[in-house]
Amino acid sequence: MIRQMSVQELKEKLDKGEKNLVVIDVREPWELGICSLPGAVSIPMRAVPARYPELSKDAELAVLCHHGMRSQQVALYLERMGFSKLNNVTGGIAAWARDIDPKMPTY
C-alpha cells in the first residue's frame, strides 16, 4: 500500500536522521537544477524501469516530484515490482518550498 506522506512528515523523518528512509526524486535533471532536497536519490521517472533494482526493498521509500503526480505513478510501479514500504510525498517539492523552505527556488 502506498502511504501519502506530507512534507511536514518527511521533514520530521529527515530531521530525525532515519537511516532506513530513502528519498527518490523522479523529476528531470533540469528540474533538479532549479531546486532539490539534499541527499535525495535522483532517478528520473523515465529511468525507473531500468534503475529500480538499485533500490533496496527493505528501505522505506519516499517518492518525490514537482507536485505529487509523477511520484504517485512511480510508487504504483514500484509496488508492482515488489516494494512495500512506499510513500508518495504529497504536493512534491512545490509543497516543500511553500511549507518548509520558503527560500527554495520554485518553478
Is 21 a domain residue?
A: yes
User: What phi, psi does 41 have (nearest 5°)?
Assistant: -90, 125
Report the number of distinct structural domains present in the chain.
1
Give the 3-state secondary structure of residue 82. Answer: coil
Is 67 a domain residue?
A: yes
Element at 61 (helix H, strand E): strand 60-64
pLDDT (tens, 9 = 90+) of the chain, 107 residues, equals 899 999 999 999 999 999 999 999 999 999 999 999 999 999 999 999 999 999 999 999 999 999 999 999 999 999 999 999 999 999 999 999 999 999 999 99
User: Cβ neighbours of residue 44 under 8 Å, at least 6 residues apart?
Assistant: 26, 27, 28, 29
pLDDT of res. 17: 95
Is 27 a domain residue?
A: yes
Is 13 a domain residue?
A: yes
Is 107 a domain residue?
A: no
pLDDT of res. 23: 98
Q: Is 65 a catalytic residue?
A: yes
The domain that contains 59 carries what CATH number? 3.40.250.10
The residue annotated as part of the active site, out of 65, 89, 93, 97, is 65
- Taking the whole predicted model, whether its pTM rises above 0.85 is answered as yes
Of 104, 107, 103, 68, which is closest to residue 88 (Cα–Cα)?
Answer: 68
Domain of residue 45, residue span: 2-99
pLDDT of res. 1: 86
Is 106 a domain residue?
A: no
